[in-house]
Each structure stands twice: as C-alpha cells, then as structure tokens.
Amino acid sequence: MSIERYSISMHFPRVLMNAARRRGLDEDVLLAEAGISRRLLDNPHLRITPDQFSRLMRGVWRLGDDEFLGMGSQRCRQGLFALMAKQVVRSRSLHSVYYKLGHFYNLVNDSLRLDLKVEGEEAIFSMALSDPSQDPDYLLREFLLLLWHRFPSWLIGQRIPLKYVAFDHAAPEHLAEYRLMFPCPAKFEQPTNCLVFEARMLEAPVVQTPEALANHLRRAPIDWFTRPAYYPVYTRRVLDHLERSGDLAGATIQSTAAALHLTERTLRRRLCAEGSSFQALKDGMRRDMAIHYLTQPSLPISQVARQLGFSEPSAFTRAFKQWTGELPKTYRDAARKM
C-alpha cells in the first residue's frame, strides 16, 4: 500500500461503530477485521489509515447487509451499488450517468430522493433523505455526496470540478475534514444536500469499461478514500514537493520556495491566504506517514523514526506525542490489542 498523504479522523469510525451498535452488529468482528482496537476507538483525537476505515465500512456493509450503513430509513441491500454501476458504466456521457444513478436509487430505495437539474450554466445533483434523523452525525450524507462525486469522476476519467457542495445540516465540529473530501467550498443549513458544478461537464464522455469496473468494485470503497486530498493551489504544490523529497525531515520553507520558483516571503503569504503554513503541512505529512508505519507490525519504532528523518527515536516520540496526544508505542500496542 502506498503512503497516503492524509489520514482519517477517528470521528468517522466512531460514528460508524455507533450505527453498528444500534443495529446489533458484532463489534468485535468489525474492529478486528479493520485492525482497530477499542482503545484506539475510544480516543477521539487519534487518526487511522484509509485502509483501516475501508475495511471497517466493508464489514458494516457485510454484517448489516446494508450499503446505507444503518443510517437510512430503509436498508439498502449489499450489491445494489454494483448493480447500479454495471448499468451506468455503459452510459455515453456524465449526464446519462447522473440520470441513471438517480433513477435507479429512486426506484429501489425510499431512504433518499436523487435529482439532477440544470439551471442556466449550473448542474445540480441533489439528495434528500426521507428521514434525516436516522443520520444524526451526518455520515451517510457525507459519504453519499462524496460517492456521487468520486464515482462519476472515475467513470469519465477526470475530476468533476465542483463549484460548491451543500448540506442541509449545520457546520459540524469535524469541518476541517471536509477539505480532504470535497475540492470546493462547503455550504451548510441549505435547503438540500447537493453537488453543484458547471453544466458543460455533463457532456463529458464515459471512458471506463465494464472490465475496469469489475476491478474498481473489488477494491471499493478503498479507492474512494485514497484519492489525493483536495487542497488549494499552493498548499497542494508544497505537499507535492514534500512527497517527492528524499529528505522530508531536512526540507525547509527556503528550499521548498526555491524548488517552486518563489521567494520565501511569497510562499509564506500564499500559504497564509489558504489558511495554512509550511510547518503545519510538513508536520501533518509526517504524522500521517507515522500512523501508516505504526500499523505495519514488522517495522520497529526506531526504524519508523529513521524513515521519517528523526535522528533519535526519542525525538520522534516527542513529536508523535505532540501530534496525536499518544506515544508511538502506546498507539502501536493499542492497535495490536484486538
């Protein structure tokens, strides 16, 4: 598995496990399959890898036989998404994809209502839940809007540029996570949940094949969670540079600015305008890489420290404690106690 440039907030598995508990699913089986211990789950400040969250979601799908994760007014039997996908992959254009997708779910499940509208130069794909109270933490709404964006984007072989995404609920406490999910501004307390993009994109042709879809479905949902995080322009350029760097620990804002053909002052100013800083981006990348490495049982903590560029394991320990509130050994031990 390649190193992802972001990890997933513990908020999401905690909400997913709360839903599993309400439905009486076997929590021990779900956590064991995902490689998440109860001790990790109980700490809301920790983060997990996209692979762990994907395995947890697959387990909830299977044990609950419900692709709506127990958060819809009606169960969505496992396999319905694949059935829909096999129909829409033969579409000619993105317009046909969204039309068929909405028509399919509107016929087979009363938990939601999907609708595609074109208003002037904007296309609006909206989703209304029949009983929003079944989704008290908004996870179903977040997941489905992410899916309605990423799967059609995969079908046409390019990211659909969103103008904004809208939700009918208030801004959540985990709002910072939305920048990893949606490449656009998010609006809250809106009349409906929807994706808004330029109507001209509806003409984009479908380029994927039924053969490619078969592999995509076998990997689901991991591909939906491991696409590059969506960041503003200069934040993304810095992360790209750091990811390519052979010496992440030694990377400085001066060397990064030079590599990007900018002055240090200009880079600082542009990152600040995007709500970020060089050190925060560097620390975030090292944190996420550390979390990934610590889920690999064959890597000693001393080796993790070296791979992240720390001269001493003690320096890595202090940094990880500052990033997550936990010691690396405590985190790894908790992950192993299934």
Q: Are residues 157 and 239 located together in one domain of the fold? A: no
- 225 domain-assigned: no
Q: Return d(Cα 331, Cα 325) in angstroms, integer.
A: 10
Q: Are residues 190 and 239 located together in one domain of the fold? A: no
Q: Last residue of a domain, which of 174, 208, 242? A: 208
Q: Are residues 166 and 237 located together in one domain of the fold? A: no
Q: Last residue of a domain, which of 154, 176, 208? A: 208
Q: Return d(Cα 95, Cα 200) in angstroms, integer.
A: 10
Tracing tokens 């479908």 back to the chain, one arrives at: 206
Q: Which long-range contacts (CB under 8 A, 24 or more apart) does 247-252 make?
A: 247/309, 248/282, 248/285, 248/286, 248/289, 248/308, 248/309, 249/286, 249/308, 249/309, 249/310, 250/309, 251/282
Walk along the chain (338 residues) and give the pLDDT tens digit of each residue: 344 456 788 999 999 999 999 999 999 999 999 988 888 888 887 888 888 999 999 999 999 999 999 999 999 999 999 999 999 999 999 999 999 999 999 999 999 999 999 999 999 999 999 999 999 999 999 999 999 999 999 999 888 999 999 999 999 999 988 877 888 999 999 999 999 999 999 999 999 999 989 989 998 898 888 755 556 778 878 988 888 877 777 889 999 999 999 999 999 999 999 888 999 899 888 888 888 888 776 788 898 888 888 888 899 999 888 887 788 888 887 665 54
- 313 domain-assigned: yes
**Total count of domains within the chain:** 2
- 28 domain-assigned: no
Q: Are residues 190 and 310 located together in one domain of the fold? A: no
Q: Are residues 86 and 134 located together in one domain of the fold? A: yes
Q: Return d(Cα 153, Cα 90) in angstroms, integer.
A: 15
Q: Are residues 113 and 166 located together in one domain of the fold? A: yes
Q: Are residues 86 and 143 located together in one domain of the fold? A: yes
Q: Are residues 183 and 304 located together in one domain of the fold? A: no
- 279 domain-assigned: yes
- 7 domain-assigned: no
- 291 domain-assigned: yes
Of 306, 309, 304, 310, nearest in space to 332 by CA: 304
- 170 domain-assigned: yes
Q: Which range marks the domain in which residue 324 is found?
A: 230-336
Q: Are residues 243 and 186 located together in one domain of the fold? A: no
Residue 314: which CATH number?
Answer: 1.10.10.60
Q: Are residues 250 and 310 located together in one domain of the fold? A: yes
- 243 domain-assigned: yes
Q: Are residues 249 and 304 located together in one domain of the fold? A: yes
Q: Return d(Cα 139, Cα 15) in angstroms, integer.
A: 7
Q: Are residues 114 and 189 located together in one domain of the fold? A: yes
CA distances from 110 to 106, 149, 195, 225 (A): 7, 21, 20, 26
